[in-house]
Amino acid sequence: MACKVHRVRYYNPKPQPINCVSFNKTSKQIAVARGDASIEIWDLNYAPYLVKFIPGVENGSVEALGWAKNRLLSTGLGGALIEWDLEKLCLKTTVLLTGYAAWCLDVNPDNTLVAVGTEQGYVNLYNVDNDEIVYRKLFDKQEGRILCCKFNNKGDVLVTVWEDLYFGMALLGTRGLVIHGEKLISVGVDGYLTFSSYPPKWVMRLPPMIPAPRSSICVQKKLLLLRYSNHLEVWKLGLYATNNDGNVLISNVNTTLDSSQTENNDLEQDSTIDVISRAKAENTQKQTLKLTGKPTKLVSVQTKGKKQIQCCALSPSGELVVYSTASNIRMLKLDTEDEEQSNISLSKLLINGLPEGGYLQAKSILHLYISKKSPKGVTYLVVADTVGCISVWTQNAKKFEFYVSLPQYHCLPSALVVDSQREYLIVTYVDQKEAVEPVAKRKSKPGSKNVGLRIVPIKYLAGFHWMDQDEAVTLEVLPENIVSQLPPIAATKRHGHI
């Protein structure tokens, strides 16, 4: 049966350049700092997966990152050495530097010393063992700004580089390189996280995207909430025409060419995947529905102080918009009773009493899902943390009570959903395995089952929502829209055009 799909392509958040990258050999995680001072932690154990996000602040700067065991350190134009709390995802310790703005740092192989190079030519040395940051030494002032510093393999020699090599590197647009096994990881001003290896030539590129959740929907009113870095937008989805029998009216049938004939050769391409290539070849015809109403932006909400948004949601009724920053949770009432959207109001609501509902092994939440009511009237709340623990709560009256914890798998869950009709919890993992848990019986489903899938290729899928059994919303970010917002030198050098 054909499915009606709202293909949302007007979601174009501004891509942020990557300033620096650092690899943790112990946990096989990389830390990435972007131009808006936000920090991302990616897990590389099975496949690249974003597990943690620390929002940036206005006028903030992160120019260098380093790992001291599992402690993350950074420095920047603020002239401080900072340690980050990776559980609470916030600043933990700040130490002021001598020499004002800092451009680089490095941790010795024993993870006991960190060196920081500054604008005025000073190199600051600190002890970072025993979970502390203690001043050790200040080296003699050098002639120019210290743009790079590096310990040798023994940790008894520190090499520094002045600004002579900086401008040549900047022209290439590459800000950092990391070796992980047989793969080279490169980052730069285009904001992409690029993985490559040779021979044979293989390239995989992860686009600059705002961390999930990026969107939320109201099925009843057909509203779509879009998340940007520091503002939200609420859209009314487009309407399609139906005949007297309730069947949709088709505008036309588009026959697409083979993907090799239609791809934009100016854009840098990933290595092909066989199953995706076959899917593109099979999806040669698409029906376009006749529209009676175009998508309309109803309202835009700017955060106070331009703080970055960490999470957002739209209530099922479409009346409430809630979002959180690093310091606040805000709830707004959206009034869209006017069918023509000529009179839209937005008002603040007070939030009182947010009790803690339970604890997981880690303090950082990776996934949170609330199911629809099952035939037995049960609502499930499923939460997964950043170490792979999955726990389930059930709603009792107005409270959620702890129900069960699932067996822990060896890698992180990439997505989860509850089939409320059959009371199954379906979890997909980063290693592309899938688990089906009948939560009502509190035990794993024995055996395995092969399921046939039909793949619909979408380049950068930023979000997906079901409106009904045969109606869905896809949130797409087009590669050409990303490139069009890049600095001219990044668009030219990395993607072939401006």
286-331 residue pLDDT tens: 678 777 888 999 999 999 888 999 999 999 989 999 999 988 889 9
Tokens of 254: 């588009």
Is residue 172's pLDDT more than 90?
Answer: no
Of the candidates 48, 81, 49, the one whose C-alpha atom is nearest the C-alpha of residue 66 is 81
pLDDT attached to residue 498: 43
- pLDDT tens readout for residues 431-486: 988 888 888 865 544 444 555 555 556 778 899 999 888 889 999 998 888 888 88
- pLDDT tens readout for residues 66-90: 999 999 999 999 999 999 999 989 9
DSSP SS3 for 316:
coil
- pLDDT tens readout for residues 93-129: 999 999 999 999 999 999 999 999 999 999 999 999 9
Q: How confident is the model at residue 1 (pLDDT cuts 50, 70, 90)?
A: low
pLDDT attached to residue 173: 79
Average pLDDT across the chain, whole number:
84
Q: How confident is the model at residue 344 (pLDDT cuts 50, 70, 90)?
A: confident
List, in order, residues 6 or more apart from 451 with CB less than 8 Å away. none
171 vs 240, higher pLDDT:
240
Work out the average pLDDT over 236-254.
78
Residues of the chain with pLDDT > 90, as a percent, come to: 53
pLDDT attached to residue 105: 96
pLDDT attached to residue 346: 83
Q: How confident is the model at residue 336 (pLDDT cuts 50, 70, 90)?
A: confident
pTM (2 d.p.): 0.85
β-strand partners of 390: 384
Is residue 167's pLDDT more than 50?
Answer: no
- pLDDT tens readout for residues 247-281: 777 776 665 544 434 455 555 566 555 545 555 55
- pLDDT tens readout for residues 18-43: 999 999 999 999 999 999 999 999 99
77 phi, psi to nearest 5 deg: -70, -10
CA dihedral 239, 243, 248, 252 (to 10 degrees): -100
pLDDT attached to residue 163: 67
Q: How confident is the model at residue 168 (pLDDT cuts 50, 70, 90)?
A: very low
pLDDT attached to residue 282: 58
Q: Which amino acid is at 313?
A: A
Q: How confident is the model at residue 214 (pLDDT cuts 50, 70, 90)?
A: very high
Which string of DSSP letters, residue by residue, matches 26-57?
TTTEEEEEETTS-EEEEE-SSS-EEEEEE---
Is residue 398's pLDDT more than 80?
Answer: no
Please give the Cα distance from 19 to 36 (Å, whole number).
9
Of the candidates 258, 236, 163, 211, the one whose C-alpha atom is nearest the C-alpha of residue 32 is 211
DSSP SS3 for 494:
helix
Which string of DSSP letters, residue by residue, matches 89-153?
TEEEEEEEPTTSSEEEEEE-TTSSEEEEEETTS-EEEEE--TT--EEEEEPPP-SS---EEEE-T
326 phi, psi to nearest 5 deg: -65, -20
Please give the Cα distance from 34 to 187 (Å, whole number).
10
In CATH, 18-206 is 2.130.10.10: yes
DSSP SS3 for 490:
helix
List, in order, residues 6 or more apart from 276 with CB less than 8 Å away. 455, 457
List, in order, residues 6 or more apart from 417 with CB less than 8 Å away. 369, 425, 426
Please give the Cα distance from 196 to 204 (Å, whole number).
6
pLDDT attached to residue 492: 60
